[in-house]
Amino acid sequence: MRYRAVIFDLDGVICHTDKYHYMAWKQVADELGIYFDETINHRLRGVSRMESFEIILERFDGVMSGEEKIQYTTKKNEVYKELLKNMTPKDLPDEVRDTLSALREKGLKLAIGSSSKNAGFILGQLGLGDYFDAVSDGNNITHSKPDPEVFVKAAQFLEENPKDCLVVEDAKAGLEAAKAGGMECAAVGDAVSCGLATWNLASFSELRTVVE
Ligand code: BG6
Ligand code: MG
């Protein structure tokens, strides 16, 4: 086997929360009269909640205090969490479920490496609450992607060397984080076009052959 463990980004890799992030940020942006669209939303992938808000504020014509920023990001998260309640195990694609099982059968350890502070809640909604061998997320890091901290911590939690871990990512910031942490990475979705990954996957199930 080429690797001993696989570390998965959550949003955009295991499940698709983009639309919920978009709806929640849109509500906040509209309230502030800030232009916000799906293209700007794509720039928020892999980026922490506050850093995401700073990107949205690039189009804000005013001054906002730190306290107000906390109020607006808290509000966004409340709206987002309400929307996440719509998620069920049916939102876990069959291809993802089957591939995870196949990788586990090969003896690989499986972990999550996500910038989100809602990772535990999302995994619970998907019926994956206890599934992964380790979860490294926005609650155990001080620097979000492209800093490697979230993946380095995941490798530590798994008690594996970074060079034995493969990271799976849908965002440029995530691929950069994996590389900075000394890990090989597989790109899915839009991240394929970055040209940064060790492996560019046409489908999630290709992981079965990549790890061999
Ligand atoms: C990442 C998402 O997984 O989590 C980002 O790709 C998001 O878009 C970040 O901003 C932080 O999420 P949360 O759930 O802590 O607000
Ligand atoms: Mg992602």
Model confidence pLDDT, tens digit, residues 164-200: 999 999 999 999 999 999 999 999 999 999 999 999 9
Looking at residue 108, its pLDDT comes to 98
Give the Å distance between the CA of 17 and the centre of ligand 1: 9
For residue 193, the tally of other CB atoms under 10 A from its CB is 10
**Does the CB atom of residue 44 touch ligand 1 within 6 A?**
yes
Q: What is the distance, to the nearest Å, from the Cα of residue 179 to the centroid of all Cα atoms in its chain?
A: 16
- The catalytically annotated residue of 11, 137, 147, 170 is 11
Closest atom of ligand 1 to 44 CA is 8
Looking at residue 123, its pLDDT comes to 98
User: What average pLDDT does this structure show over 130-155?
Assistant: 97
d(CA 12, CA 4): 23
Burial class (CB in 10 A: 0-12, 13-18, 19+), 171: buried
**Does the CB atom of residue 114 touch ligand 1 within 6 A?**
yes
Residue whose Cα lies nearest atom 1 of ligand 1: it is: 46
Q: What is the pLDDT of residues 73-113, one digit of tens each?
A: 999 999 999 999 999 999 999 999 999 999 999 999 999 99
**Does the CB atom of residue 115 touch ligand 1 within 6 A?**
yes
For residue 85, the tally of other CB atoms under 10 A from its CB is 10
Segment holding 134, helix H or strand E: strand 134-136
Locate tokens 């069920």: which residue?
88
Compute the half-sphere exposure of residue 114: CA atoms within 13 Å on the CB side of its CA: 25
Q: Is 133 a catalytic residue?
A: no
Neighbours of ion ligand 2 (CB under 5 A): 9, 11-12, 170-171
Looking at residue 36, its pLDDT comes to 98
Q: What is the pLDDT of residues 15-48, one digit of tens each?
A: 999 999 999 999 999 999 999 999 999 999 999 9
Q: Is 11 a catalytic residue?
A: yes
